[in-house]
Amino acid sequence: MSPIVEAAALSLPRAMAAAAAEMDEALDALLPAVEGPEGRLYEAMRYATIGGGKRLRGFLALEGARQFGVSRNAALRVAAAIEMVHAYSLVHDDLPAMDDDDLRRGKPTVHRAFDEATAILAGDALQCHAFTVLAEEDTHRDPAVRAELVRGLSRAAGPRGMCGGQMLDMLAEYADEPLSESQVGRLQTLKTGKLIEFAAESGAILGKAPPQLRHALCLYGRELGAAFQIADDLLDATASADEAGKRTGKDAAAGKATLVGLLGPERARLQAERLVAQAKAHLDGFTERVDHLRMLADFTIQRRS
Amino acid sequence: MSPIVEAAALSLPRAMAAAAAEMDEALDALLPAVEGPEGRLYEAMRYATIGGGKRLRGFLALEGARQFGVSRNAALRVAAAIEMVHAYSLVHDDLPAMDDDDLRRGKPTVHRAFDEATAILAGDALQCHAFTVLAEEDTHRDPAVRAELVRGLSRAAGPRGMCGGQMLDMLAEYADEPLSESQVGRLQTLKTGKLIEFAAESGAILGKAPPQLRHALCLYGRELGAAFQIADDLLDATASADEAGKRTGKDAAAGKATLVGLLGPERARLQAERLVAQAKAHLDGFTERVDHLRMLADFTIQRRS
């Protein structure tokens, strides 16, 4: 049985776990343990990326690529690059000058396990290495595809994407006035939405998909990302740290504006459900292999961690 | 008179000043002042990049591109991207958890002028934006060139380049034993050499130069970078902060191993002169337009800031 058929036959949690294991293998190969003095940097990069997290973004990239028959190796490289960027953002967000967190994915944050300087550098190097991986020929023989992946990932992660959203988040904490619903929506679109959207789109770029299918995956990712963020905030408001693998209740403690805080948990949950329905509707143009993406949309608001 | 002929007629300091002004214009366009809440991030990115520094790396990119008749706009985009990466590395190196510096390019460092969180994010966003700039079509219509620029810059800045060198530098400070001459050489090759080498090579990539000329520029950049580092260390050991525009004497204060410390200023200066002569020898295969690159090699060890 080919890996593609095999994966399609699995239930979502098993498919995600299998994909996470494949991504760990890919990350292990792309971030080898290195001897000698700079080994510490690789060690911190590996600590931050391998063996943790739901791999939502990487899974989206893999499932998107699967729609278009992309080679597993190429899809895993793109998934790994996106997970490197996601991991770097967590390493830097956890720093004392940012959210000052001690726990991440159920273990000490990088600056706690190593030190602050190493955490800053490991984050910097992870972001950088993600672009090396995308730009290398092993990702796709067509350089136009590689250049487009770089452009897409860098825009999603840059000042008008993830970094811009994180800036808004920091400013909201400094400010006296709470953010409005539309401001919170914009913050979250930038901070987490853009990268999730790109992850969903990346498989279509890699598979040179027809524009209309690529756009549909993009919109699916956008709605999914918004639902995911609400679910994350609900989790932060209701789950224990043991369940979530990170400190919870911290949004309320920090006075952070979330849709859950603004709308209340009931209305927020309804909105997340509406977003999930919309996300699934964007998959209607696909005829097969989209079961996981449909299930993933539902899973987004059902998960407990 | 065409801009190329005009630039060739200028003395080195005037050519560098003119190129620096052009790079500032390019950076101003690529990092626009933005209204609204994320304006602070752009403000910090602009503060870190526009209007300061010798622009050695950008100048190398521009002069390399000039050998092959590359359009000035394309060359300026690549020069700006390299300067963004250089600037981000300075912003992060200056952070309290790293070198903890208050002064850079004659003004307060980003975390002093803004705050630590903003400095971390501005550095992250600058690195990311550099790859967006390289990957966009305006840089070159051939995506193979864009992908190769991304690969080259990300390798020069990543864990086997600049980030790896910075890690070695931090570890050397933590360690009890001083580094040997070869360890210091390796540290500096990674920390500053790789990016200078790529800057020299980038114009050849952009100009689709014959491999042998591209390689010659690469080697020129390698020798120049090594000479530059020794000159920088000599400056740190001998110049005042007013002259250098940053805190000086800090290597000795921090017990940092440099070639100047290991060899003494006289032998270090001789070694820099040897490197400069070697750098210039790599330009022999070029028939014209290399005056600035020759003069730049000499300037590297004559500068006072």
Q: Please determine, for residue A155, whether its predicted confidence score (pLDDT) is greater than 90.
A: yes
How are beta strands A107-108 and A103-104 bridged, if at all?
Answer: antiparallel
Rg over alpha carbons for chain B, rounded to the nearest Å, is: 18
**Measured between CB atoms, which of A116, A150, A160 is closest to B131?**
A150
Distance between A304 CA and the closest CA of chain B, angstroms: 30
CA distance B82 to A235: 41
Distance between B6 CA and the closest CA of chain A, angstroms: 34
User: Each residue of B221-231: pLDDT tens digit?
Assistant: 999 999 999 99
Query: Number of A:B CB contacts under 8 A?
Result: 155
Residues of chain A with pLDDT > 70: what percent? 90
Q: What is the mean pLDDT of residues A107-131?
A: 97
Q: Do A167 and B38 touch (CB under 8 A)?
A: yes
Which pLDDT score, from 0 to 100, does residue B249 have? Answer: 67
Write out the two tokens for A173. Answer: 């904490």
Write out the two tokens for B192. Answer: 């500053």
Dihedral angle computed from the Cα positions of residues B40, B41, B43 and B46, in that order, rounded to the nearest 10 degrees: 180
Q: What is the mean pLDDT of residues A12-39?
A: 94
Q: Which residue of A has its CA nearest to B45?
A: A159
User: Residue B53: pLDDT band by 50, 70, 90 thresholds?
Assistant: confident
The CATH number of the domain covering residues in B3-300: 1.10.600.10
Q: What is the mean pLDDT of residues A283-293?
A: 90
CA distance B109 to B117: 13
Contacts of B168 in chain A (CB under 8 A): 37-38
Distance between A24 CA and the closest CA of chain B, angstroms: 19
Q: What is the mean pLDDT of residues A7-26?
A: 87
Candidates B49, B92, B124, B186, partner chain A, best to mutate (most A CBs within 10 A): B124
Q: Do A151 and B167 touch (CB under 8 A)?
A: no
Residues of chain A with pLDDT > 90: what percent? 75
Contacts of B135 in chain A (CB under 8 A): 147-148, 150-151, 154
Which pLDDT score, from 0 to 100, does residue B5 have? Answer: 43
CA distance A223 to B232: 52
CATH architecture of A3-302: Orthogonal Bundle (1.10)
Say which range, A90-99, B2-11, B111-120, B168-177, has the weakest mean pLDDT.
B2-11
CA distance A13 to A5: 16
Q: Which residue of B has its CA nearest to A136?
A: B151
User: Residue A253: pLDDT band by 50, 70, 90 thresholds?
Assistant: low
User: Each residue of A167-196: pLDDT tens digit?
Assistant: 999 998 888 788 888 999 999 999 999 999
Distance between A172 CA and the closest CA of chain B, angstroms: 9
Distance between A210 CA and the closest CA of chain B, angstroms: 20
User: Residue B87: pLDDT band by 50, 70, 90 thresholds?
Assistant: very high
Q: Do A135 and B124 touch (CB under 8 A)?
A: no
Q: Which helix (H) or strand (E) is B108 found in, with range? A: strand B107-108
Contacts of A35 in chain B (CB under 8 A): none
Q: Do B128 and A129 touch (CB under 8 A)?
A: no
CA distance A282 to A213: 9
Say which range, B203-207, B221-225, B298-302, has the weakest mean pLDDT.
B298-302
Contacts of A155 in chain B (CB under 8 A): 132
Alpha helical stretches, state H, A102-161: 110-113, 116-135, 143-157
Q: Do B121 and A97 touch (CB under 8 A)?
A: no
Q: Do B132 and A151 touch (CB under 8 A)?
A: yes
Contacts of A94 in chain B (CB under 8 A): none
Which pLDDT score, from 0 to 100, does residue A3 have? Answer: 46
Contacts of B40 in chain A (CB under 8 A): 167, 171
Residues of chain B with pLDDT > 70: what percent? 90
Question: What average pLDDT does the structure give for chain B?
Answer: 91
Q: Do A120 and B132 touch (CB under 8 A)?
A: no
CA distance B284 to B298: 15
Say which range, A58-62, A175-179, B44-48, B229-233, has the weakest mean pLDDT.
A175-179
Which pLDDT score, from 0 to 100, does residue B4 have? Answer: 47
Which pLDDT score, from 0 to 100, does residue B241 have? Answer: 61
Q: What is the mean pLDDT of residues B271-289?
A: 93
User: Residue A238: pLDDT band by 50, 70, 90 thresholds?
Assistant: confident
Q: Do B167 and A136 touch (CB under 8 A)?
A: no
**Measured between CB atoms, which of B37, B117, B148 is closest to A97?**
B117
Look at A304 and A49; give whichever has higher pLDDT: A49
Which pLDDT score, from 0 to 100, does residue B244 have? Answer: 62
Which pLDDT score, from 0 to 100, does residue A43 have? Answer: 97
Amino acid sitting at position B113: A
Q: Do A132 and B154 touch (CB under 8 A)?
A: yes
CA distance A126 to A130: 6
CA distance A104 to A119: 13
Which pLDDT score, from 0 to 100, does residue A242 have? Answer: 65
Q: Please determine, for residue B247, whether its predicted confidence score (pLDDT) is greater than 90.
A: no
Q: Do B154 and A131 touch (CB under 8 A)?
A: yes
A200 and A214 in contact (C-beta within 8 Å)? no
Which pLDDT score, from 0 to 100, does residue A247 have? Answer: 66
Which pLDDT score, from 0 to 100, does residue B254 have? Answer: 65
Q: Please determine, for residue B253, whether its predicted confidence score (pLDDT) is greater than 70.
A: no
Candidates B30, B34, B41, partner chain A, best to mutate (most A CBs within 10 A): B41
Q: Which residue of B has its CA nearest to A155?
A: B132
Contacts of A33 (CB under 8 A, 6+ apart): A39, A42, A43, A46
What are the E-state strand segments in A25-82? none
B119 and B109 in contact (C-beta within 8 Å)? yes
Distance between B45 CA and the closest CA of chain A, angstroms: 9
Contacts of B42 in chain A (CB under 8 A): 159
Which pLDDT score, from 0 to 100, does residue A248 have? Answer: 65
Which pLDDT score, from 0 to 100, does residue A177 have? Answer: 80
Which pLDDT score, from 0 to 100, does residue B177 have? Answer: 81
CA distance A240 to B261: 54
Q: What is the mean pLDDT of residues A47-69?
A: 95
Q: What is the mean pLDDT of residues B107-134?
A: 97
Say which range, A259-263, B85-89, B145-149, has the weakest mean pLDDT.
A259-263
Which pLDDT score, from 0 to 100, does residue B3 have? Answer: 46
CA distance A174 to A143: 43
Write out the two tokens for A60. Answer: 């989206």
Contacts of A284 (CB under 8 A, 6+ apart): none
Q: Please determine, for residue B206, whether its predicted confidence score (pLDDT) is greater than 90.
A: yes
Q: What is the mean pLDDT of residues B234-263?
A: 73
Question: What average pLDDT does the structure give for chain A?
Answer: 91
